[in-house]
Every structure is written in structure tokens, then in C-alpha cells.
Structure 1
Amino acid sequence: MTDATITRLRKPSWKDPRLLLGILLVLVSTAGTVALIGSLDHGVEIYVARQGIPVGARLSSQDLDRMTVRLGGAEAQYLRADEPLPEGAIATSFVGKGQLVPRGSIGAARALTGKPVAVPVDGVLPEQLQEGARADVWVAAPDERNGFKDPHLLVRAGEVVKVVQNQQAFGANASQVVIVLIPDDKLPQLLAAQSNKSRISLVWNPEGSAP
């Protein structure tokens, strides 16, 4: 047996550079794995709507649940649960049940550019006209022959705040009342249409936004 063979078979010493290098590589690999797992588990607590939050509703902790999510750079767009709720804040746009609460949907009352108005509707509504949907408001004024003139578009993509079923108080034939957010500049015209018994119709707007 040669001296070289004896050297290879000799039990390595703690001072052997090859052994120290192997231990170092194992430690580096382990640290990298731990760091990777830690980064994958990293998340932030975001507020989630416990129930649907309609436009104009004052925000409170009773309306919210917490959920830990990983959103990366998008987390700044949502209301974090480790931050205090804005004092006196209301929903300026509808937030559906179970949805993350966008910062852009919360603001002061003065941020609203419209007022919720109850619009009685005869007949059956399209199933798409639910809270948070958008509806075009068409108005047909009465004519001189106990009929109605051609309808015209009064409001495009008004946000539906709430749908109330079987509200007979708003009219003998009204099967439901839809509360729609009406822009301030269109509010006088809609109130005038209601007072002169115009026919008001709501049409679901799939585009979901005003031009």
C-alpha cells in the first residue's frame, strides 16, 4: 500500500480543509432554504368585508374580518389590518362580501359625487342588477295622450346601492325599489321626473363605468 493510499484512507481531522468546506456548504444551503421558506410564508393582514358594504355606509370594525395574504407590491392598494381605520370614513364604492377592502373605495362623505335615490321599478329586474352593479337610468315623460314620450338617457352607469323587494309604499304597482347613486348634477332632473310621474327604467350596464 502506497503512502498516497494510506493518506486517502486516514480518518479526516477537524482541521481538514475539505471537511470544513463541506460543513460550510451544508450551512449555506440550509440557510438559503430557510430564507426561501420564510419569504414564501411572508404575508400581511388585510381587511376583508364581512358582508357587502354599500356606498355611503360608515366603516367600522364590525363590518370587517382579517385575512393574511401575500400580495407583493399590490398590498399598498388595500386597507391593512395593522393600521387604524380612518376616522369617519365611509364606503365611496361598493365592496362585496369576502372581498379585500381597496383603499380607493374608502373616503370621507364629501368624496361622494352623488346621492342615493330610491327608484321604484315595475316588473322583474335583470338578475345582474345587484348591489355594486351599474345601471343606466332612462326617463320617459308623460305625453298629452295619457302615454309617454320617447325615453331619453338621464344617467349612465349609476351605481346600484341596494335592491329592496316588495316595497308597495313607493307605488301601487312597484314590485321592488332600487337605490341608485345619482350624480349631483342629474339629481334635480330625476326628482322632477319622479314628481311628474315619468316612467323611469333601469337598464343593466355591463361596462360598469361612466364615460
Structure 2
Amino acid sequence: MDSTVLDLPAPAATRLRRPGWRDPRLLTGLVLIAVSVALGSWVVTAAQRTVAVYVAAQTLTPGDAVTPAELAVAEVRLAGAADGYLLADEPLPADAVVLRVVGAGELVPVAALGAAADLDVRAVAVPLEGAPPRGMVQGAAVDLWWTPAADLAATDAPPAPEQLAAALTVAEISSADGAFAAGGTRTVHVLVPVDDLPAVLAALGGDGTVDVVPVPGTGG
């Protein structure tokens, strides 16, 4: 037996040293943990933060002035989108009007406001015979149709109705005395685009009947 193998020195065992507090790896890990905890806390806090914004106290239609009487304040979570809405802690825009329909209880978008000169519609009063059809409420969309007066002496078929304008916004529905009573003669005020005014006014002043037809699904 070769005794030279037994005479070889035994290899020294390598001992693992516990990292000290000055070890760069330990310090880097602690920093990463601290950053993660701080970031998570910030995200949770931001998600729970509320902002005071204005909401429409009632349905607002194009041309309505933006005043405290038409608005209410609500605390909501907007998650960084607060700049897109009317904030309650800032002054209301001077002489601003609504440019599109804002439903009751809806947050008031800044983009829905503008100057009266920006409006391209005009309110036109259309008389109604009887009670308004179902779905005809403030803020709803309606079509206007005109049926020419029939010539009693003519033997031809009665004249066909013609559409005057489509998807007009109802600004108001009132009775003869201005109240929202259940009975009596009523008038619906619709917002007519300037380009359609000549045809609508001519029909209202001519011989025939102008009917207001609600657009389904727009009456709330």
C-alpha cells in the first residue's frame, strides 16, 4: 500500500461568514425593502384619497349658466383624473354655460363648459297637443316632423310627413302658465341647430302640424 497518499495534508474547510451590517448586499436589500414598503403605502393612500368636485344638481342642457344653484358638491375618488372635472375648491368659470347635456348627479366635465358664443343651437318653442309622449323629459333627444295641411278638395293621397330635424335636445317642458303641471296646454322647448332654424320656423308658421317624437333610450 502506497503510504504517500496518507501523508497528504487534508484540505481546509471553508467557513461561511455571516454578513455584517456594513455588507453592501445587505444594505442594498434593506433599501429595496424600504422603497417597496413606501411605494405600496403611497399607492394605497392615493387610491383612498377623495376630491371635492361639482356634480349637476339637476339635468343641465346646452345654454344653462353654471352657477352654485345648479350644482352640488360630492367627494369622489378620481385616481389622478381630477383635472378633467370642475373642482369644488376652485372658483367657477366666469360667464360659463353648458355646451352639452349633463345629467342630474353627473360629475361636471370641464370640457362640457364654454362661452355662450360657442353654442350653435337656439331654443325654439313647439306647442304640444295633450300630454307629452313617454320619454320626453328635459335632456332627452327628440325628432321634429312636419305634416302639411291636407287639401280637402284634393282627391290625391294626403301629404306625407317630412322630417325637419333629428336628435334635438329638450331644454324644457312647460305648461301655459310656465309651471310643470300635469294638465293643460304644454310647450316643449327644443334646441335647434342654427342651420335647421329656417325649415323649423317656416313649418311652425305655416299650414300643417309639427310633431315632436322622442328618440328611444334618451329619456333617462
Please give the range of the TM-score, normalised by the shorter of the 2 chains.
0.7 to 0.9
CA deviations on 1:94-119 (whole Å, 9 max, x unpaired) are 22222111223211111111101111
Q: Who is 1:79 aligned against?
A: 86
Q: Is 2:195 the partner of 1:185?
A: yes
Contact kept, 8 Å, 2:66 with 2:96, in 1: the verdict is yes
Q: Is 2:101 the partner of 1:91?
A: no
Which range is displaced more, 108-117 or 62-71?
A: 62-71
Q: Percent identity?
A: 34
Q: Is 2:149 the partner of 1:142?
A: yes
Q: Who is 2:168 aligned against?
A: 158
Which range is displaced more, 33-42 or 192-201?
A: 33-42
1:186 partner SS = helix
Contact kept, 8 Å, 2:60 with 2:139, in 1: the verdict is no
The structure with the largest helix share of the pair is 1
TM-score under structure 2 normalisation?
0.71
Q: Distance in 1 between matches of 2:36 and 2:117?
A: 56
Q: How does 1:45-84 map to 2 (within 5 A)?
A: 45-84=52-91
Q: Distance in 2 between matches of 1:141 and 1:160?
A: 24
1:72 partner SS = coil
Q: How does 1:1-211 map to 2 (within 5 A)?
A: 31=38, 34-145=41-152, 149-164=159-174, 166-167=175-176, 175-206=185-216
Contact kept, 8 Å, 1:120 with 1:174, in 2: the verdict is no
Cα deviation, residue 73, structure 1: 4.8
Q: Which amino acid aligns with 2:212?
A: L
Which range is displaced more, 124-133 or 146-155?
A: 146-155
Q: Distance in 2 between matches of 1:145 and 1:75?
A: 63
Which range is displaced more, 44-53 or 145-154?
A: 145-154
Q: Which amino acid aligns with 1:40?
A: A
CA-atom RMSD in angstroms: 3.2
Q: Who is 1:3 aligned against?
A: none
Contact kept, 8 Å, 1:168 with 1:175, in 2: the verdict is no
2:216 partner SS = coil
Aligned residues: 188
